[in-house]
Chains A and B, each alone.
Chain A
Amino acid sequence: MKHLEKAFGNKLAIALFIAPALILFTVVVPLPILHSFYMSFFKWDMLSEMTYTGFENYKELFSDEIFISSIFHTIEITILSLILQVSLGLFLALCIVNITRGRKYYQNAFFIPNVLSSAVIGILWFFVYNYDFGLINSILKTVGLQSLQQEWLSQKYVIFALSITTCWQWVGYHMILYVAAISGIPQDIIEAAIVDGAQGFKMVSKIIIPQILPVLRVSIVLIITGSLKYFDMAWIMTEGGPDFASETIATYIYRTAFNKLQYGLGSAASTFLFAVSILITIVINKFAAKREIAY
């Protein structure tokens, strides 16, 4: 259809439709990334002159123990989140697909934390973990287990505590993805498996998990990318403390730039985070390519 091509190939119309999104997006995302990369070669606090220092910022970054430890904390949170959210989410999903009564209630109950803002969740859990009047310690006291009371946001437990809160926030989301995937497994596959005698654990490991693998992969990707930029909970509950025990790459960037006004150093850390994200994206894309071949 010639007139169709003429109307929908109208260059001016295309430009008018795409321009607002393209300009806004380019100005806010790719250009600042380049700007950040550029600034990572300068020392600057916004008050004095910007001075070019080459790779000085990167050297400083990787000799800063706090930054190195922030990388490890980010990795710890990623691993803990993967373990907690995937296993619990899968377990909850397997329970939920086997019931019909009350299903809606359970799904809502598990999902509700996910719609709350991190400010709400962070402040709430700060008080859940509080030593003197927190929920956990007061329950322990009520049931006579004072000996188990802890300073939950202490150096020893803080990463674990933060990961538990993040699990509380996100496990319902992953559970819902798994429930949708399990409900979408073709009936004949399940029936054939039952005829073959697949029951219980065997059914889960041999049939269900392989069948929902694509969704599992998506949820793992979401957890990894979410953990990589882990900021809100660490900042609200502990500000990266105590004594930087919960400093993540993201809180490090924020602190360096906006508390210490070391914009160059902060930009170097940002650039590092960006490089890691790119790397992970490439790895993920490789996975995705594999997936296309497999199906």
Chain B
Amino acid sequence: MFAKYIKISSAAKIVIFAFLTFYSILTLFPLIWLVYNSLKTNNDFLANPFGLPQISKLQLKNYYDAWVTMGIQRFTINSLIISSVSVVLSILISSMAAYAIERMIWRSSQKVLNYFLAGIMVPIQIILIPLFINFKKLNLLDSRIGLLIPTVAFALPTSIYILTGFYKTIPRELEEAALIDGCSVYKIFYKIILPLTMPAFVTIAVFNFLGAWNDLLIPLVLIQTPELMTLPVGLLNFRGMYGAELTKMFAAVVISAIPSIIIYFVLQDKLLKGMIAGAVKG
């Protein structure tokens, strides 16, 4: 590790620690401010936005109201459904494609890989107008399927990229032995390859789950009924409807931030490793 062989004077160390601590407070304080204000009454917040809430007057009711009365519960469930289903679908579809590209023998495999990888560079705005118009014709607006289709499709390029890299590292001998034992390609993929791919699947799952969970633009365009809104769009809708009840909205924002933060702390090694590998190789 770097720190081991660079000598730094203790005065310089103190400056570094002071700066890092200062900047970490600067980074975290907006979040802390959000959390403690979500526990105030609206009037207390407006009277003193900076001050801490009084312990005797903690407004846990803000959370109850945001969750139950104002519908954050429904948005959360919608987000969970879309994110989980899109993770399962994107893993299934991309692992099959990556396996065909990396392990099967055919002439255009690299061309097909490049075709998918070009998709990483496409800004999603470009496809939204035709998507909206065609989905309207096909009655896919305001439907979960309609929302899942582009969410999964946009998760494919990165997933395929990570998986082809992963499949490169699996030794051929495994497949050869299975073949001699009389397994078909399908059985080899299903029985041998898929279980081996689990570590890569976790990385992709975290990526794609957070991607779908946090995505704003696709659901903003494709979903209009509150019953089907995911959290980000729901929050904006919530702001439009209950914009005056600020501290309740803060509670809603805190609720929708919690799952991302939990996922980060539980799976951060996977997430960071995948991110660094992806960026350094790319």
Which among A28, A112, A133 is the interface contact of B31 at CB below 8 angstroms? A112
| Residue A25 lies at the interface, judged by CB distance under 8 Å to chain B | yes
Most chain B CB neighbours (cut-off 10 Å) among A168, A172, A180, A203 = A180
| Cβ–Cβ < 8 Å partners of A142 in chain B | 50
Which among A25, A112, A138, A253 is the interface contact of B116 at CB below 8 angstroms? A25
| Residue B34 lies at the interface, judged by CB distance under 8 Å to chain A | yes
- Contact across chains for B185 and A7 when beta carbons are under 8 A apart: yes
| Residue A21 lies at the interface, judged by CB distance under 8 Å to chain B | yes
- Contact across chains for B27 and A135 when beta carbons are under 8 A apart: no
- Contact across chains for A28 and B126 when beta carbons are under 8 A apart: no
User: Knowing A8-B185, A218-B280 touch, does A120 contact B257 (C-beta < 8 A)?
Assistant: yes
Most chain A CB neighbours (cut-off 10 Å) among B46, B130, B186 = B130
Q: Which of A58-66, A147-155, A184-192 contacts B (4 or more CB under 8 A)?
A: A184-192
Shortest CB-to-CB span from A226 to chain B, Å, is 9
Which among A8, A9, A27, A92 is the interface contact of B20 at CB below 8 angstroms? A92
- Contact across chains for A177 and B156 when beta carbons are under 8 A apart: no
- Contact across chains for B272 and A176 when beta carbons are under 8 A apart: yes
| Residue A134 lies at the interface, judged by CB distance under 8 Å to chain B | yes
| Residue B256 lies at the interface, judged by CB distance under 8 Å to chain A | yes
- Contact across chains for B127 and A231 when beta carbons are under 8 A apart: no
- Contact across chains for B17 and A20 when beta carbons are under 8 A apart: no
Q: A275 — nearest CB in chain B belongs to which residue? A: B126
| Cβ–Cβ < 8 Å partners of A16 in chain B | 96
Q: B183 — nearest CB in chain A belongs to which residue? A: A7
User: Knowing A20-B93, A190-B6, A258-B221 touch, does A29 contact B127 (C-beta < 8 A)?
Assistant: yes
Shortest CB-to-CB span from A173 to chain B, Å, is 7
Shortest CB-to-CB span from B207 to chain A, Å, is 11
User: Knowing A14-B104, A119-B233, A123-B239 touch, does A250 contact B3 (C-beta < 8 A)?
Assistant: no
- Contact across chains for A250 and B125 when beta carbons are under 8 A apart: yes
- Contact across chains for B97 and A20 when beta carbons are under 8 A apart: yes
| Cβ–Cβ < 8 Å partners of A108 in chain B | 265, 268
- Contact across chains for B33 and A229 when beta carbons are under 8 A apart: no
| Residue B147 lies at the interface, judged by CB distance under 8 Å to chain A | no
Shortest CB-to-CB span from B165 to chain A, Å, is 15
In the complex, the number of residue pairs spanning A and B with C-beta atoms less than 8 Å apart equals 299
| Cβ–Cβ < 8 Å partners of B8 in chain A | 98
Q: B7 — nearest CB in chain A belongs to which residue? A: A194
Shortest CB-to-CB span from B219 to chain A, Å, is 10
CA distance A18 to B106 in the complex (A): 12
| Cβ–Cβ < 8 Å partners of A7 in chain B | 179, 184-185
CA distance A271 to B126 in the complex (A): 7
| Residue B192 lies at the interface, judged by CB distance under 8 Å to chain A | no
Which among B131, B172, B214, B280 is the interface contact of A32 at CB below 8 angstroms? B131
- Contact across chains for B276 and A133 when beta carbons are under 8 A apart: no
| Residue B58 lies at the interface, judged by CB distance under 8 Å to chain A | no
- Contact across chains for A117 and B231 when beta carbons are under 8 A apart: yes
CA distance A109 to B276 in the complex (A): 18
- Contact across chains for A120 and B235 when beta carbons are under 8 A apart: yes
| Cβ–Cβ < 8 Å partners of A27 in chain B | 149, 153
Interface size class of B (residues with CB under 8 A): 35 or more
Q: A200 — nearest CB in chain B belongs to which residue? A: B12
| Cβ–Cβ < 8 Å partners of B180 in chain A | 3
Interface secondary structure of B, over-half rule:
helix
CA distance A218 to B153 in the complex (A): 24
Interface secondary structure of A, over-half rule:
helix
| Residue A113 lies at the interface, judged by CB distance under 8 Å to chain B | yes
| Residue A205 lies at the interface, judged by CB distance under 8 Å to chain B | no
Q: B232 — nearest CB in chain A belongs to which residue? A: A119
CA distance A173 to B271 in the complex (A): 11
- Contact across chains for A117 and B97 when beta carbons are under 8 A apart: no
CA distance A219 to B276 in the complex (A): 11
| Residue B213 lies at the interface, judged by CB distance under 8 Å to chain A | yes
- Contact across chains for B119 and A267 when beta carbons are under 8 A apart: no
| Cβ–Cβ < 8 Å partners of B55 in chain A | none
User: Knowing A232-B217, A263-B133 touch, does A123 contact B249 (C-beta < 8 A)?
Assistant: yes
CA distance A14 to B102 in the complex (A): 11
Q: Given contact pairs A13-B185, A115-B210, A254-B221, enumerate 7 new A-B contacts (beta carbons under 8 Å).
A: A3-B179, A9-B105, A21-B93, A98-B16, A119-B231, A119-B233, A181-B280
Instruction: Report A's interface with B, CB cutoff 8 A.
Output: 1, 3-5, 7-11, 13-14, 16-18, 20-22, 24-25, 27-29, 31-33, 35-36, 39, 46, 92, 95-100, 102, 105-106, 108-113, 115-120, 123-125, 127-128, 132-135, 138-139, 141-142, 168, 172-173, 176-177, 180-183, 185, 187, 190-191, 194, 203, 214-215, 218-219, 222, 225, 228-229, 231-232, 235-236, 249-250, 253-254, 257-258, 263, 266-267, 270-271, 273-274, 277, 280-281
Which 10 A-B pairs have CB atoms at the shortest separation, nearest pair first?
A119-B232, A21-B97, A28-B153, A117-B214, A229-B123, A17-B100, A35-B130, A32-B127, A32-B130, A109-B24
Instruction: Report B's interface with A, CB cutoff 8 A.
Output: 1-3, 5-6, 8, 13, 16-17, 19-20, 23-24, 27-31, 33-34, 45-46, 48-50, 93-94, 96-97, 99-101, 103-106, 112, 115-116, 118-119, 121-134, 136, 149-150, 152-154, 156-157, 160, 172, 175-176, 179-180, 184-186, 189, 210, 213-217, 221, 231-233, 235-236, 239, 246, 249-250, 253, 256-257, 260-261, 263-265, 268, 271-272, 275-276, 279-280, 282
